[in-house]
Amino acid sequence: MPRNSKGFYGPRYEEGPRRKTGGEDLVPRRVAAGLAHSPGVREVDLRDDFSGLVKRKLAERVGFVCSNPDCEASTMGPSSRDAMTMNVGVAGHITAASPKGPRYNGKLTTRQRKAFRNGIWLCEVCGKIVDADESAHSVRQLLTWKQRAEHLARTRLGVPKANSHFHLLPNDQTMYINVRRFQELAQRDHLQINAGPLKENAPLLNMEGLVGYVMENERALKTLYPEALLFDRLKTKTDLENSRGQLISFVGKFRSKNAPRLRNGRVPIIHPTGNINKDHVAYKNYNSIRLVLPLDSLWYASQSAVAFFRGLSRIAVRGLARVHSVTSKVIVASPIWLALPGRVAHPFAHVAKGAGFDFALPVSPNRPTEGHFKK
């Protein structure tokens, strides 16, 4: 049986009935220690490797997901053999285990170098990249990755998978797309979005072939199925604090402020100033906090959207946005996609109808939000 000699949580380690523990490396030991050409030297003594327990803690605290925010590959899963698991993750050193390794810090004691605090869980590929000779990855960056990965693992804990993805539902009507932000999102998944019809400083409304273009992007969004924090589920101030830079999804009734006037049925081009008190925004109050979505006239997708954004009443919106800034009262998020939600048929509607009830889920349930934002 080709058992991995590098030990528990080492590359390609397969967990079988018997466990082995031992050292594991991102780079072969002799190379990492600069001893590839020094036969006869006992390199083992020069490296401060993590114990099996530390590796396990590093992996578990991020849910066995690579800590690189641009990767997030799963690192643990079933092997082809029954009841066996396969690990493709590595415990990387934030500061190197040996003097010639990357980011080596001579001030640390052996104990500190081998400690949980000096480790980060990565997939094999990211482990190699981070430790490559000319690695541009700093200690600070790796610590940020680690913190973020642990935070994400915590927010995912106990949250059903389906609830953490943004759904564009069949009856949703796209009102607003920020194609540029959407493209950035798609590129992370190596998905090409047609930006051909986009013209600099031209509102989408004025584009030819808009409908086809929107449909194409909608299809792409359905394929992307991006993972996003449900805004309603962010319960504490810390949750909010940590949502900075993350994707959020929401459904609810929003108001609009400072909307531009339609002139001759055309949307004027506006230039956001970055001041949410002056720019055109959609917003919704969640108890003590306001979610503010600055809008950009370049990206209106439909006439109904313009009417909506002009309107003063509250209108239901399902959306996806990236959190830009967080204060104790206001969260500003850059919208990527906003849709007018279609009515959602309840999964048991047909049963209920047979029993004399007729119900569809309200598009923006006015249920009390939990928290927002208890201490």
Residues forming contacts to Zn ion in the complex (CB under 5 A) are: 66, 68, 71, 73, 123, 126
**Rounded least distance, CB 75 to Zn ion, Å:** 8
Distances (CA, A) of 133 to 34, 42, 105, 137, 277: 12, 23, 16, 11, 48
Shorter beta-carbon distance to Zn ion: residue 123 or 340: 123
Least Å distance, CB 56 to Zn ion, is 19
Residue 121 or 300: the one with the smaller Cβ distance to Zn ion is 121
Nearer to Zn ion, 71 or 169 (CB): 71
Distance (Å, rounded) from C-alpha 228 to C-alpha 248? 5
Q: Decide whether 59 or 123 has the Cβ nearer to Zn ion.
A: 123
Minimum separation from the CB atom of position 229 to Zn ion (A): 21
CB of 141 to Zn ion, least distance (A): 14
CB of 221 to Zn ion, least distance (A): 24
Least distance (Å) from Zn ion to the CB of residue 227?
16
State yes or no: cis peptide before 64, omega within 30 of 0. no
3-state percent breakdown (helix, strand, coil) of the chain, nearest 5: 30, 25, 50
| Closer of 26 and 259 to Zn ion (Cβ) | 26
Confirm if 213 and 197 have CB atoms less than 8 A apart: yes
* Cβ 230 vs Cβ 248: under 8 Å: yes
Q: How far is the CB of 129 from Zn ion (least distance, A)?
A: 8
| Angle formed at CA 182 by CA 370 and CA 72, multiple of 5 degrees | 70
Secondary structure E strands in 239-372: 247-257, 281-286, 289-294, 315-326, 330-340, 344-345, 360-361
Q: Report the DSSP beta bridge partners of residue 312.
A: none
Tokens coding 187: 């590129």
Closer of 70 and 82 to Zn ion (Cβ):
70
Three-state secondary structure call for residue 60? helix
